[in-house]
Amino acid sequence: MKWGTFSLSQIPDLNLVPETFSSDFDQFELAEELGFDTIWIAEHLFSSYGVVTSTQVLAAALAKATKKIKIGMAVVVMPFNHPLRTASDFALVDILSEGRLLFGTGRAYQPHEFDGLGIPMEDSRAMYDEALELVVKAWTNEKIQHQGKFWNVPQPTEVLPKPLQKPHPPIYQAAISPESFAAAGRSGTALQLASPFSYRTYREDWIDKIAESIEIYEQTCVEHGHNPKELERMMLLPFFTHENGEEARRIARERIEWFYAKVTANQKSVSGQPVEVKGYEFTMRESLKTLKEGYLNFDRLYEHSAAIADDPAVCAEKLNNLRERLGITEFVLWTNIGGMPAIDSMAAMRLIMAEIAPRVNKMEAMARA
């Protein structure tokens, strides 16, 4: 079992941007010191929901601030940049980190970001597919040409530098819908799972629905010559732990509910009204239903294990249940959600590695025996 930490650099008080980034790096360095396997970061635009506007910029800084921990993208938004720029930038990150890059990919889901960039949101899936194809070609071929729907490379072009990892850094795909799981199975990419998004789509059935989609993923992998048991399955969870479970929930409640309030606000167009975009109809419709039926309050999130806030023993039990049900190979635990004070987030990180990870690792070892 691998253990990761995550930051979206959420800053409810925008007067504290420099301080928050400094705190983030303190937590990244602590993660390496404590023995976490990975750090995962994400990019967002035009909102305090997350103020990292470019994962490659932050990843390059992380590459020099750390020595051995892997640096994961959760995710690189493929439609928002020219694919050759994406390929070049992340090859450089892989070199600067001495081969520690994990390349997580996605197509974005917040309408205001597409509106701000003037990109048709309904084109995002096709743009994602074309961009990822072009990035892989750029990493693995000496020179490339390309004529596509969204991007053209008219003359043979050599993209430099090439990544250190061969043939390229591990690729992960964010997956919510069965179609996304099937696409990941066809290409043989690792899975990025995240309770905030699957829960908002499927509510109390979110774990069952992921299990069903994983069956599709595994079958599709085999049909296309990939071994699904060799591919990573990471899961991101809003997470907090304290020696006292009731205190864990008291501290986490406000922060987690702030995050979901921001998600809800950002699912609207710039007009402030809920939208339904081609290619996102199902998830947008279900997310609105989730909000209207009260599933985004902390108590419901906690009830259905979409957000975990407990003492270490209960946390370990809940994580182990997810591991057994879904075959998770890495838990990415988000302790600084919603502007959580660093002192609390870092205390939770210490408890994770001291008391939770050993329990889950022991349960995994017993299951393998």
In what helix (H) or strand (E) does residue 312 lie, and over which residues does it extend? helix 312-326
User: Distance from first CA to last CA of the chain, Å, rounded?
Assistant: 15
Rounded to 5 degrees, what are φ and ψ at 183?
A: -65, -40
At 183 the pLDDT is 93
Residue 163, CA distances (Å) to 6, 63, 173 in order: 24, 14, 19
CA-nearest of 151, 172, 170 to 85 is: 151
Q: What is the pLDDT of residue 272?
A: 58
Residue-wise pLDDT tens digits, 144-199: 999 999 999 999 999 999 999 999 999 999 999 999 999 999 999 999 999 999 99
> What whole-number distance in Å separates Cα of residue 42 and Cα of residue 336?
14
4/25 Cα distance (integer angstroms): 15
- Residues 135-164 as b/e (b if ≥16 CB within 10 A, e otherwise) read bbbbbeeeebebeeebeebeeeeebeebbb
C-alpha–C-alpha distance, residues 19 and 300, integer Å: 32
Q: What is the mean pLDDT of the chain?
A: 95
Digit-coded pLDDT (tens) for 58-92: 999 999 999 999 999 999 999 999 999 999 999 99
Average pLDDT (345-368) is 95
pLDDT attached to residue 267:
72
Tens of pLDDT along 268-312?
655 556 678 999 999 999 999 999 999 999 999 999 999 999 999
pLDDT at 273: 64
CATH of the domain at 312: 3.20.20.30
The total of structural domains in the chain comes to: 1
Domain hosting residue 46, numbered range: 2-368
CB 59 within 8 A of CB 93: yes
